[in-house]
Amino acid sequence: MVNSIRVCLIGAGRAAGVHANSLVNHIPAGRLAGIVDPMREALSATADQFGVDARFESLEAALDWGEFEAVAITTPTFTHSDLAVMAAVAGKHVFLEKPMAITLDECDEIIEAIQRNGVFLQLGFMRRFDPEFAAAYERIQMGEIGQPMMIKSLTHGPGLPPPWARDLRTSNGMLAEVNSHDWDCTRWLMGSNPERVYVEVANFKGKARGVDTENFYDNVLVNVRFESGGLGSISGICPCDYGYDARVEIVGERGIMQIGEMRGQAVVVCTNRDQGLVTPIYRTWPERFAWGYIREMEHFVNCIQTDTPPEVGGEDGRWAVAGVLAGTKSFLEERPVYVREVLEGEEV
């Protein structure tokens, strides 16, 4: 049997904890080999929690040691291209969290380094590995609802993102940090690339939460026209406070399909008829996509073991970044923007 795959985590934050948990508790074929983080406290906390001895303050130091086949990068977006390229050059397979990068040039650098060094790249679009999303995709492919006409995808997150993730100078804001999954899923499920986008944003809670960053928004509503002629809506609200909410609705020529729902566990309680029935809601993204996170890492480990390219890679990550850039341009310039404007630098 193939040896288990050793993965070194780059970043020791919350997403890192999710992947560490998958590798340690749920994937016999994988191993959590080491953890890298320049912030000592986060490093110790996560490494202690998962019983990992190999701890490093930099990717360079980890590569000097080198006892792993792959990295999983969960650091802030602006560090992605440098880290992914460095890992690829060192011959390590790369699991890269979304968004892929800040710019399309950075995406291209990553893709090129991956190809040149003959390693695999998998993007952290875990929704594709969620059993419900995966089954829905298959059923759409089989023609169950016919040619897709209109898709709606939303992601509402409970809390305020960290400062770097809500500032257009250090990230591409919520459209990227929260809605990357929607950009990917709508393209994947529609089977078509976005062609033109129009975006409206709003800022309802920023002031009360002490956010005075320029161009900050906590509500975003995107109108997409796909190359197929289909239409799409992406919405993001963060912080929404009420829970973690990620749902898709897609209408094809033959029917409608709803994927996911707000409701968490099927435990319904009523103790007060003036209040009504109460059912758990998904509170957080690790809870909503518990299987998705495990299955995406299983897929990554299995692809390395069997020398098979991952199903979701650089091209998918790049399209999501392109959507984000076109969307940001749209609300800043208050006009519909063709995605080719950002892909080719072309003005309409």
Exactly one of 152, 170, 211, 213 binds its own copies (CB under 8 A); which one?
A: 152
Least distance CB 212 / its own copies (angstroms)? 17
Least distance CB 300 / its own copies (angstroms)? 15
User: E strands, 115-261, where?
Assistant: 121-123, 148-156, 194-202, 219-226, 231-237, 245-252, 256-259
Alpha carbon 141 to chain centroid distance? Answer: 22
Q: Is 193 in the site for its own copies (CB under 8 A)?
A: no
Neighbours of 42 (CB within 10 A): 17
| Site for its own copies, residues 52 to 111, rule: CB under 8 A | none
Exactly one of 150, 160, 168, 343 binds its own copies (CB under 8 A); which one?
A: 150
The secondary structure of 13-32 as a DSSP string is SHHHHHHHHIIIII-TTEEE
Exactly one of 48, 279, 309, 344 binds its own copies (CB under 8 A); which one?
A: 279
Exactly one of 213, 264, 311, 343 binds its own copies (CB under 8 A); which one?
A: 264
Separation CA 94–CA 159 (nearest Å): 29
Q: Is 209 in the site for its own copies (CB under 8 A)?
A: no
Exactly one of 200, 308, 315, 344 binds its own copies (CB under 8 A); which one?
A: 200
Q: Is 167 in the site for its own copies (CB under 8 A)?
A: no
Exactly one of 64, 241, 315, 344 binds its own copies (CB under 8 A); which one?
A: 241
Q: Is 212 in the site for its own copies (CB under 8 A)?
A: no
Q: Is 333 in the site for its own copies (CB under 8 A)?
A: no
Residue in the block written with tokens 């400062």: 163
Q: Which is nearer to its own copies, 214 or 269 (CB)?
A: 269
Separation CA 323–CA 226 (nearest Å): 11
Q: Which stretch binds its own copies (CB under 8 A): 77-85, 127-135, 170-178, 179-187?
A: 127-135
Separation CA 9–CA 52 (nearest Å): 11
Q: What are the distances in angstroms from CA 322 to CA 106, 110, 265, 317, 348?
A: 12, 15, 36, 9, 16
- 347, amino acid identity: E
